[in-house]
Chain A
Amino acid sequence: MRPDDRKYLESHEWAKLDGDTVLVGITDFAVGELSHGNIEDLVYCDLPEVGRQLEQGETFGEIESVKAVADLNAPVAGEIVEVNPAIEDHLEILATDPWEKGWMVRIKPNSKSLDHLLDAEAYEQVVTEAQGA
């Protein structure tokens, strides 16, 4: 089971309340799909500027692996207040610690509710289905 201290999107982003803000990253499953176990396959990650306003579900960035570009989708509406400066130059963090050091952006949400997102159990089901099991 993935961490149950946060919520998830079907598109494999996670959102975790941290005080008045929400930290957002992508799951180990997303990293595995893009990199196929070879972290060197991740080549680029484009994250937004601080201050950008996001709608819920809006694309806030993009990640490129050797063979695919994937959108990063905002789990909540709000303002980007911080971007993890380590990610763009150290994509390996996404593989070694997607849950803590691998956070991508910090959003000051319009609403702190994460009730519209999947809990860890529901997300597990999404992963199982995505694996074709």
Chain B
Amino acid sequence: MNKLFTIIGLSLGLCVAAATQAREVTITTTLNTYRGNAAYLAIYLTNPDGKYKQTLWVAGKKSKYYKHLLDWARGSGLKTAEYEGMTGASVSGGDSLTIKADIDDALIDAGYLIRVDSAVEDKRENRIDAEVTLTTSGAGTPVSGRGYVNTLSYSL
């Protein structure tokens, strides 16, 4: 009997754990070839209304330029805690950036969006250069961007 409870308890525990489990999502952003310096990119998650939820990655090392990643900057409030440990080098034209991010399972197939804001020195700043809804069925299907982003895709 005791044994049975233990098993049930463990199973329940596992179920609860599964319910709040984070999934590793691989996101690939490929840039167009364009003339100019390397691009700063902010890759982030928004709720179905487009409200900022969490930062997934910021490409570009000088935080003083982050304000040019317009919507992300607005959503994150540019608070260091929002992007700490999630930054890397800026991305040159024609190059691809692949990142892995942990996203709460509950946000998949829930209308949440992956968005990319982009900026290049002396060139236009793009809010929502590309966006894609995070769904199980949409994984692996690239969407095209409007600015420096050529394609944005993710795999679960």
Q: Bound pair: A and B?
A: no
